[in-house]
Copies of this chain bind each other. A is one copy, B any other.
Amino acid sequence: MTSLEDYMARNVILVDEALDRYLPPESEQPQSLHRAMRYSVFSDGKRLRPVMAIMSAEACGGTAQQVMPAACALEMIHTYSLIHDDLPAIDNDDYRRGKPTSHKVFGQAMAILAGDALLTHAFHILTEEPLPNLREILRTLTKGVGIGGMVSGQVVDVESERQDPDLNKVEYIHLRKTAAPFAAAAKLGALATDAPAEKVRALENYGRDFGLAFQIVDDILNEVGDTAKTGKPTGTDRSLGKQTYPAAVGIDKSKQAARDYADKAREHLASLGYEGRFLRELADFIVSRDR
């Protein structure tokens, strides 16, 4: 029986290979742009969003290849959001995953443009070959990462810095900034494999509650994590006065909330039966992770 770890490792390799195919080589003009795009895309990310999309496609009886364009689009979008978030005008982060951030290596102008290029290219790769449900796939992506989701979450995140911790605000931010893209990831796997509406909904709900659990754990690790494992400095949220779950309710209640959301995520998978096993295991894994 394949373990979750082996299954994820296989999918990370598939995603990395596909991203390499979808991105122009560094030898192509303008080289500096393609180098900057690749630097951030291939920086040891966990590939959780595209891997979830693949898990979801396979849980619906489809294949990794069917969802690969949408999965890689989501990863490119995730990468652009990190590049822009790290800019001095926003979170001003010099390191991510133990490596200097894009603007530290390529300068701010290139970091802005490489982010723009990745966001645009994400939608471009959806057109490389015919996809079923293209309109619904495009809508799911743009809703998850646009003003209905990720960007709005990021705006409120930035605007709420140094305000009193407020659980309502934390949940507003988590729902849009993190849960919406994960909901999109899981939904994309169902759409790309032409799954019935009931599965599309169940997986979207799974992705959302998974994302909420994931972000609470992220907040906890930022507060009390081991830098050697996370590759990120600890306490940056606190020093920026960020709205986080631990700031609002403390570490213990945050751990319980993460556990509760992971349980809710699992419950959405009831109708999937055995096919949903990796998604269930992933929900458990995510709340026990230390990096």
Question: Which chain A residues have a beta carbon within 8 Å of chain B's beta carbons?
Answer: 24, 29-30, 32-34, 37, 80-81, 84, 87, 89-90, 107-110, 112-113, 115-117, 119-121, 123-124, 126-127, 130-131, 134-136, 138-139, 141-143, 145-148, 151-152, 154-156, 158-159
User: Does A112 lie within 8 Å of B87, measured CB to CB?
Assistant: yes
CA distance A120 to B150 in the complex (A): 10
Contact A89 B108 (CB under 8 A): yes
Q: Are B155 and A33 in contact (CB under 8 A)?
A: yes
Min distance, Cβ A68 to any Cβ of chain B, angstroms? 16
| Interface pair B152/A127, CB less than 8 Å apart | no
**Nearest-Cβ distance from residue A127 to partner chain B, whole angstroms:** 4
Given A147-B33, A147-B121, A127-B155 contact (CB < 8 Å): no
Is A138 a contact partner of B110 (Cβ separation < 8 A)?
A: no
Q: Are A127 and B142 within 8 A (Cβ)?
A: yes
Known: A90-B109, A112-B84, A156-B30. A123 touches B138 (CB 8 A): yes
Is A120 within 8 A of B138, CB to CB?
A: no
CB atoms of B33 and A113 under 8 A apart: no
A151 to B112, CA, bound (A): 10
Determine if A113 and B151 form an interchain contact, defined as CB atoms under 8 angstroms apart.
yes
